[in-house]
Chain A
């Protein structure tokens, strides 16, 4: 029994259909606990007032936006190396979620930045890199949509994902060189002395876990949809042949 057995679509469908209700319930639970805790049971910041609470959406969505691309990179590599269709479809399923998370991160950031920095948008390194990450997602999704043949599309998007990752990292550091930032440093890190105060940090961690669960749930759901769409296509093609 190895991990790769779940690359078989049938096994994957069986496992995911069993796991999906649990993940859905867990997501709902953790997210509602995290958000309600964050929104109603934490004090206002003494300088930022209640706008500080946007952190409970902003940070987790940004975290997912970056890690969704990372997951797409891994699944693309798995597709190129081992040719498991489920892997390619999972990458395809994750891309729109990543794009949505990027947009949420940018919009919540703008809403927070308007009263705090006095501007909706600033050409700050973090903001700019995020915008470019969004463009990468757009290109990736557009390439998937443009190609008819499923295997060709999977191959080409995988190549794009790998090259895009290199350039995304390169852009990140190029932008750092281009403009020094307004955005604060990391709010949560395991190795630094100075972090967000515990009062904010615990609900924030809960929200991050909730968003990760949400991401897993959505990816499972969308991958199942993709597999079903693929099956429908195969059935239609078979009918035509007969």
Chain B
């Protein structure tokens, strides 16, 4: 499994595309929003938590179809499915490597973009914390969507239609954590709910994704 993780990471970094692209997209969104709503820092600070979370979510979406599609096309997914490690584990590793190459960089880049959007001072800690806790759920839900659409020729658009409604709870609790943090309110409730969603998706969705992949490889 570790070998597989290292292979996926190498592929993601060396083939280019997905890895840097998500980050660049995130940056572009954060830069474009002020052009759209005006440079008033009070307004920007109010909407910054939501913008950052929506931006993270969309840039996560960009690289989702690469989780399984490339391996499916060249046939290595068939080989991996017959390998001794269970398919559920394979899905977990794939989603984890997706998180390492998108969710984690997004989390690290978010404070800088928060600065651009004049996010209030006390919110930075909660921004990093909520993204750190929340983005694994995005990767695992996304891996489920990707496993559903892996056999399709143009699955990309369909993938976003399937995955975005599933992202709603994560987005709500993630953005709510930052908003409450910015206003100095208690953040324990949304943060624990966010953690619960992440742990739940970690525990359950690999099984659903593995089932979907088995159906697609049939």
- Min CB distance B198 to A, Å, is 12
Scoring B189, B204, B215 by chain A CB atoms within 10 A of each residue's CB, the highest score goes to B215
Complex CA gap A178/B211 in Å reads: 33
Contact check, B148 vs A156: say whether CB atoms are below 8 A apart: yes
Residues on the A chain within 8 Å of B189, using CB: 177
- Min CB distance A45 to B, Å, is 34
A interface majority secondary structure: helix
Residues on the A chain within 8 Å of B144, using CB: 163
Contact of B165 among A136, A143, A166, A178 (CB under 8 A): A136
Q: How large is the interface on B (under 10, 10 to 19, 20 to 34, 35 or more residues)?
A: 20 to 34
Binary contact readout A110-125 vs B (1 if CB under 8 angstroms, 0 otherwise): 0000000000000000
**Is residue A155 within 8 Å, beta carbon to beta carbon, of the partner chain?**
yes
- Min CB distance A70 to B, Å, is 17
Contact check, A132 vs B165: say whether CB atoms are below 8 A apart: yes
Contact check, A147 vs B193: say whether CB atoms are below 8 A apart: no
Contact check, B193 vs A152: say whether CB atoms are below 8 A apart: no
**Is residue B185 within 8 Å, beta carbon to beta carbon, of the partner chain?**
no
Complex CA gap A26/B162 in Å reads: 37
Contact of A146 among B155, B168, B172 (CB under 8 A): B155
Contact of A170 among B149, B151, B197 (CB under 8 A): B197
- Min CB distance B37 to A, Å, is 18
Complex CA gap A168/B82 in Å reads: 34
Contact check, B172 vs A159: say whether CB atoms are below 8 A apart: no
Which B residues from 179 to 218 make CB contacts under 8 A with A? Answer: 189-190, 193, 197, 204-205, 208, 211-212, 215-216, 218
Binary contact readout A151-191 vs B (1 if CB under 8 angstroms, 0 otherwise): 01001100110111011001100110110000000000000
Question: Interface on A for B, CB 8 Å cutoff?
Answer: 132, 135-136, 138-139, 142-143, 146-147, 152, 155-156, 159-160, 162-164, 166-167, 170-171, 174-175, 177-178
Closest 7 CB pairs of A and B: A174-B169, A135-B165, A155-B215, A139-B162, A174-B172, A171-B168, A178-B172
**Residue contacts A-B, CB under 8 angstroms, 16 given:** A132-B168, A139-B161, A139-B165, A142-B162, A143-B162, A146-B152, A146-B158, A152-B216, A155-B215, A159-B211, A159-B215, A160-B148, A163-B144, A167-B166, A177-B172, A178-B176
